[in-house]
Amino acid sequence: MTATLNQQIQQFYDASSGLWEQVWGEHMHHGYYGPEGKQKKDRRQAQIDLITELLTWSGVQQAAQILDVGCGIGGSSLYLAEKFQAAVTGITLSPVQAARAAERAQAAGMEPRSNKVQAQFQVADALNMPFASSSFDLVWSLESGEHMPDKAKFLQECYRVLKPGGRLILATWCHRPIPPALNSEEQTHLAKIYQVYHLPYVISLPEYEQIAQSLNWQNIRTADWSKAVAPFWDVVIDSALNPASVWGLLSAGWPTIQAALSLGLMSNGYRQGLIRFGLLTASK
């Protein structure tokens, strides 16, 4: 099951990442529109603001060895490498993403070499990371947790590769807290999102916190930023209507077209309070 899911995720991002970069740029994640989601701003600036707000919220002020789990085409990786003058390693299931991220690192003068500021990328499974224990002092996971078929194993792997005292910053799609139990309409809504975006399932933020506690994470903090990021999907919907995007969708193939046609699932999910944007930070 996991192998098949990983193949689906790989194929989805292999096909869609080029179009996303063309329309949206290097950051493949939500934007931040102020605590209440009321601030008007350029869509790409909103994505950068999400990174800076996450760092401020988590209290991370320095890092030398950083792991970006689910790195996309290297947007966060290159930003973090520059900000912290650090060495960043990004992992993704998509060879297309890893290759493009490496190209962007080379263009930015951050390809792996002897200097301190560098970014390197590889294809790897976050549930079985090819790194020694205690390798990194910051693990960054921005919207990749929702793809993990085993949330506990994922957090366990993040814990393993962190150095003692190192910190995790996790931002991920969640569903609303339970109880009450998800009703049939909510379950159907989520199932459609899972199918379109190749997700095994999502859990609530309190469940993530419980998993972290069971794995001996320390200094655990969580936050729900659903209001702050929800406007993102309406902006994506608007951008999908321009001629360049439509042509790119037709070229990218049916899975990408299907995802574009289903953008309203996420927008409506936020409005209904079903979809949540959960944050968790903790230290080893």
What share of the chain in percent tops pLDDT 70? Answer: 91
For position 245, what pLDDT does the model report?
A: 58
Q: Where are the beta strands (DSSP E) in 30-129?
A: 65-69, 87-92, 118-123
Q: What is the pLDDT of residues 66-112, one digit of tens each?
A: 999 999 999 999 999 999 999 999 999 999 999 999 999 999 999 88
Q: Where are the beta strands (DSSP E) in the chain?
A: 65-69, 87-92, 118-123, 136-142, 162-175, 218-224, 275-283
Q: What is the pLDDT of residues 176-218, one digit of tens each?
A: 999 999 999 999 999 999 998 999 999 999 999 999 999 999 9
Residue 247 has pLDDT above 80, yes or no: no
For position 252, what pLDDT does the model report?
A: 58
**Alpha-carbon gap, residue 50 to 157, rounded angstroms:** 25
> Token digits for 155?
């957090």
**Alpha-carbon gap, residue 206 to 214, rounded angstroms:** 12
**Alpha-carbon gap, residue 252 to 92, rounded angstroms:** 19
For position 253, what pLDDT does the model report?
A: 58
> Token digits for 226?
């659903």
> Token digits for 96?
């297309």
| Residue 174: closest CA among 149, 145, 152 | 145
Residue 260 has pLDDT above 80, yes or no: no
**Alpha-carbon gap, residue 139 to 170, rounded angstroms:** 8
Confidence of residue 18 (pLDDT cuts 50, 70, 90): confident
Residue 3 has pLDDT above 90, yes or no: no
Region 228-257: mean pLDDT is 71
The domain tally of the chain equals 1
Could you identify the residue written with the tokens 């079903």? Answer: 274
Is 1 exposed, middle or buried, given 0-12, 13-18 or 19+ CB atoms closer than 10 A?
exposed
> Token digits for 212?
């972290």
Q: What is the pLDDT of residues 23-53, one digit of tens each?
A: 788 999 999 999 999 999 999 999 999 999 9
For position 263, what pLDDT does the model report?
A: 80
Count of residues in the chain: 284
Residue 246 has pLDDT above 60, yes or no: no
Q: Show the domain range for 230.
A: 2-283
For residue 80, how many C-alpha atoms fall within 13 Å in the half-sphere facing its CB?
35
- Residue 273 Rama label (left phi>0; alpha psi -120 to 50; beta): left
Q: How far is CA 8 from the centre of its chain?
A: 17
Q: What is the pLDDT of residues 119-161, one digit of tens each?
A: 999 999 999 999 999 999 999 999 999 999 999 999 999 999 9
Residue 113 has pLDDT above 80, yes or no: no
For position 178, what pLDDT does the model report?
A: 97
pTM comes to 0.94
CATH of the domain at 29: 3.40.50.150
For position 262, what pLDDT does the model report?
A: 74
Average pLDDT of the chain to the nearest whole number: 92
* Residue 95: φ, ψ to 5°: -60, -35
Decide: helix, strand or coil at residue 101: helix
Furthest CA-CA distance within the chain: 55
For position 115, what pLDDT does the model report?
A: 72
Is there a contact between 156 and 215 (Cβ–Cβ < 8 Å)? yes
Decide: helix, strand or coil at residue 12: helix
CA distances 3 to 88, 127, 149, 158, 175, Å, are: 26, 12, 10, 20, 25
